């Protein structure tokens, strides 16, 4: 299947694995790229230029296909060494960067001068237009269904995607609620040129996370996520568990007086415990509503091959016959 996204990134299938904290390691990124999609290493999980350099080189040993690096730009008193991370990306010849968080405009010249294609994650049409204006090559449009940070507008993809299609000149992929061939075909019908999957890729054999996490996603339904940190204007969709219930009780008790320090026990340092140690109830961790569509733990290749085969079947058996 050829789309503007496959042509832009030099990949076989219009499927991207989004950057995920303590999930987007070389093993998963390489598996996605080897299966014809675009794998993404999560830069801030590595944290330092030296560690990111090693992870990129590891991925290059596992695949000769294109892959990218996610850089999430966060407000911080002690920010990561973003220029150093970008220098490592450039020096290793990586040609795709997925950006997220704050506006990456200040870093765009260095990446564009190196021939890097930049795809920015956006949760609104206005942010997507801004990404286009600063020179991003594509955007990932994240609907309200997505795991992680869905923004503050609460617009689901059935509205957000066609609105993006109406306004953008650059190609975009759909993110949030993407799990299978139905997701892909529906997203493309709404104007997207492909899809970005996060939660669905966690529940694969190739994801280098604990089996308990994968099984927690399979066991969950679309009703089992919660939105936290709304009063902090930092909304995050997470899988429900006792720690999340405790956090939400604090949010209710403190109301508008809530500070991040009040919930630090439920959110700080959680990801290594969850993803590496296999303690899915250790705290709040990102998970999309798409968990309700995840019922197995295939290899990445099995998943992508199945999606593409079933997408062809949907077009042939339903769409063409309906015309």
* pLDDT grade for 77, boundaries at 50, 70 and 90: confident
DSSP secondary structure of 179-190: -SHHHHHHHHHT
Cα 233 to Cα 156: distance, rounded to the nearest angstrom? 18
**Cα separation of 65 and 285, whole Å?**
30
pLDDT band at residue 136, thresholds of 50, 70 and 90?
Answer: very high
- In 3D space, the residue among 89, 96, 80 whose CA is nearest the CA of residue 53 turns out to be 89
Domain boundaries along the sequence of the chain: 4-208, 221-286
Residue with tokens 């600063």: 134
pLDDT at 38 over 90: yes
| pLDDT tens per residue across span 278-321 | 999 999 999 999 999 999 999 999 999 999 999 999 999 887 77
Give me the architecture of the 4-208 domain, per CATH.
Alpha-Beta Barrel (3.20)
Rounded CA-CA distance 101/235 in Å is: 13
Per-residue confidence (pLDDT) for residue 319, from 0 to 100: 79
185-202: average pLDDT: 98
Instruction: Please check the confidence at residue 23 and state whether its pLDDT lies above 90.
Output: yes
pLDDT of residue 318: 81
> How many H helices and E strands in the chain?
16, 10
The DSSP line for 41-96 is EEHHHH-SHHHHHHHHHHHHHH-SS-EEEEEEE---SS---HHHHHHHHHHTT--E
Q: How far apart are CA 21 and CA 126, in angstroms?
A: 26
Tokens 């999609």, residue? Answer: 37
d(CA 157, CA 290): 12
Sign of the CA dihedral with 17 first, then 239, 45, and 126 last: positive
């Amino acid at each position: 299947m050829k789309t503007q996204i496959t042509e832009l990134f030099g990949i076989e299938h219009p499927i991207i694995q989004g950057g995920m904290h303590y999930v987007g390691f070389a093993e998963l990124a390489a598996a996605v790229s080897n299966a014809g999609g675009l794998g993404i290493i999560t830069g801030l999980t590595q944290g330092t230029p030296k560690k990111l350099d090693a992870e990129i080189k590891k991925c290059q040993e596992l695949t000769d296909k294109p892959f990218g690096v996610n850089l999430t730009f966060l407000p911080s008193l002690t920010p990561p060494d973003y220029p150093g991370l970008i220098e490592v990306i450039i020096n290793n010849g990586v040609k795709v960067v997925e950006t997220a968080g704050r506006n990456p405009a200040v870093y765009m010249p260095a990446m564009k001068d190196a021939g890097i294609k930049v795809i920015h994650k956006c949760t609104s049409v206005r942010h997507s237009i801004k990404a286009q204006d600063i020179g991003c090559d594509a955007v990932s449009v994240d609907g309200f269904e997505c795991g992680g940070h869905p923004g503050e507008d609460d617009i689901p993809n059935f509205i957000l995607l066609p609105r993006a299609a109406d306004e953008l000149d650059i190609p975009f992929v759909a993110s949030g609620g993407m799990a299978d061939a139905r997701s892909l075909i529906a997203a493309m019908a709404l104007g997207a040129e492909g899809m970005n999957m996060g939660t669905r890729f966690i529940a694969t054999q190739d994801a280098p996370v604990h089996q308990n996490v994968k099984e927690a996603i399979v066991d969950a339904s679309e009703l089992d996520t919660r939105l936290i940190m709304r009063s902090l204007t930092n909304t995050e969709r997470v899988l429900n568990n006792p720690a999340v219930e405790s956090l939400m009780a604090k949010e209710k008790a403190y109301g508008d007086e809530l500070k991040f320090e009040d919930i630090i026990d439920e959110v700080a340092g959680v990801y290594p415990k969850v993803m590496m140690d296999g303690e899915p109830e250790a705290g709040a961790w990102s998970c999309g509503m798409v968990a309700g569509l995840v019922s197995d733990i295939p290899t990445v290749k099995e998943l992508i091959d199945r999606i593409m085969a079933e997408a062809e079947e949907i077009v042939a058996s339903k769409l063409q016959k309906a015309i």
